[in-house]
Amino acid sequence: MLKILLKFKMRYIIILFISFTSFAQSDEKVIREIYSNSLTNGKSYEWLDYLSNQIGGRLSGSLNAERAVNWTKSEMKLMGLDKVWLQPVMVPKWVRGAPEFAYIETAPGKTTKVNICALGGSIATSATGLKANLIEVKSFEELEKLGKDKIQGKIVFYNRPMDATLIDTFKAYGGCVNQRYEGAVHAIEYGAAGVIVRSMNLAIDDSPHTGSMTYGNIPVKDRIPSAAISTQHADLLSSMLKMDNNIQFYFKQNCKQMDDVLSHNVIGEITGSEYPDEYILVGGHLDSWDIGDGSHDDGAGCVQSMDVLRLLKVSGITPKRSIRVVLFMNEENGLRGGNKYAEEAFRKGENHIFALESDAGAFTPRGFYFDTDESNFAQIQSWKELFKPYLIHFFELGGSGADIGPLKTPYNVLSGLKPDSQRYFDHHHSENDTFESIHKRELELGAATMTALVYLIDKYGIINKVKL
């Protein structure tokens, strides 16, 4: 009897192994097809060329942003998706106005011009500009120690560089971005007249990098103008201050915050053949800053996400679950699009089992971050061998994306594409974020990598602890 049982058990194990091997071989073949289609017949590069060069920078609330909404909607319709629609969302409208101007003055009439750009959400200077002495700091704690007596009436110069020793440059960015975002709030507390912030960039160059900032609950009348200075000129300014702390800084900017305006998220869907009420989302943000054309941040993520659905179709895959591409509006200076999408999804009771965001540039894909529990992460890790031929190796817990973050529940899986990050902040939020910096093959590899993960999630589902 024991021999019979052992024989049966062994036969069962063999059947399971053969079955698993068969599935693995099938998945391997499908994923190879996905990569081949992306690298030989991809659309992401062509789409990004149009978005970047024919439309350009797409700051929330701008005419270009609306042009991008209408164009991407029309392209999705041409893809033959089951559904394409616009989701209304009210967004902030901030305009830069005439180009900024700044100089360092070492003596009356003796000046050195420097490159700055207004931070998103900043007020303008007066019509004649702002000239004042400076105080250089590297932290809010340092500001507090100096106190109001030493700061009042001066321009606070935040000059904490990104940490070059951190290999993950997004961690370096996270270690210093608070001086850009909250710098004005803290400087106002001590009576500062204005704020200049070192650009969030590891490279030493002449291009200032914009980005969002806040005044918190500070009344409009008490707000001060805030601008970024290029890393090269930040180093110059710091050196000059060490030689003479009585030098003055002048800058003029012409930005303005307008009333909120109506815009839209752009949504397309392939309806699932077996589980149409289970949603898999892939997306990026359609808006960008205005001083480049937003190719890396985040035109790339948008066109890659669109191509995920196209690649599924041309690879002959019929999704079991409903696959949505969502191009979010207003990630850069408000997250209104992501919040609106989540609000509507929860209101309708939509079950988003998985969401994937691409918002880290178009460089060579390395893998994914995941925001999920251990059981779902274990399942995803079991697929690593399928990605190995494409040099995709990074599968780590640790986050997802800003726009999909509001969709998080205890039971779903969120993910963010992780490209190589070493060159990303050379371009991020600057005039250097242009189509010329995009490598076609790297962009297409990213689209294929995203499609492969979506395919696997669709085929095998996720591990839910409760029935949704």
- DSSP-derived pairing of the beta strands 83-95 and 256-270: antiparallel
DSSP lists the bridge partners of residue 324 as 269, 281
| Burial class for 398, CB neighbours closer than 10 Å (0-12, 13-18, 19+) | exposed
* Contact status, residue 445 vs residue 39, Cβ threshold 8 Å: yes
* Contact status, residue 432 vs residue 423, Cβ threshold 8 Å: no
Q: Looking at 178-287, list the stretches that DSSP marks H as alpha helix, in order from N- to C-terminal side.
A: 178-181, 183-189, 231-243
Cα 80 off chain centre by: 27
Give the whole-angstrom CA distance, residue 282 versus residue 417.
Answer: 10
Residue labelled with tokens 């000046």: 111
* Contact status, residue 345 vs residue 277, Cβ threshold 8 Å: no
Is residue 331 annotated as part of the catalytic site, yes or no? yes
Q: What tokens does 427 get?
A: 């371009």
- DSSP-derived pairing of the beta strands 256-270 and 130-137: unpaired
φ/ψ of 150, rounded to 5, equals -90, -15
DSSP lists the bridge partners of residue 367 as 394, 418
Angle of the 300-314 helix axis to the 2-41 helix axis, nearest 10: 120
Q: What tokens does 388 get?
A: 């190995």
> 33, 100, 331, 444: which is the annotated catalytic residue?
331
Active site residues: 331
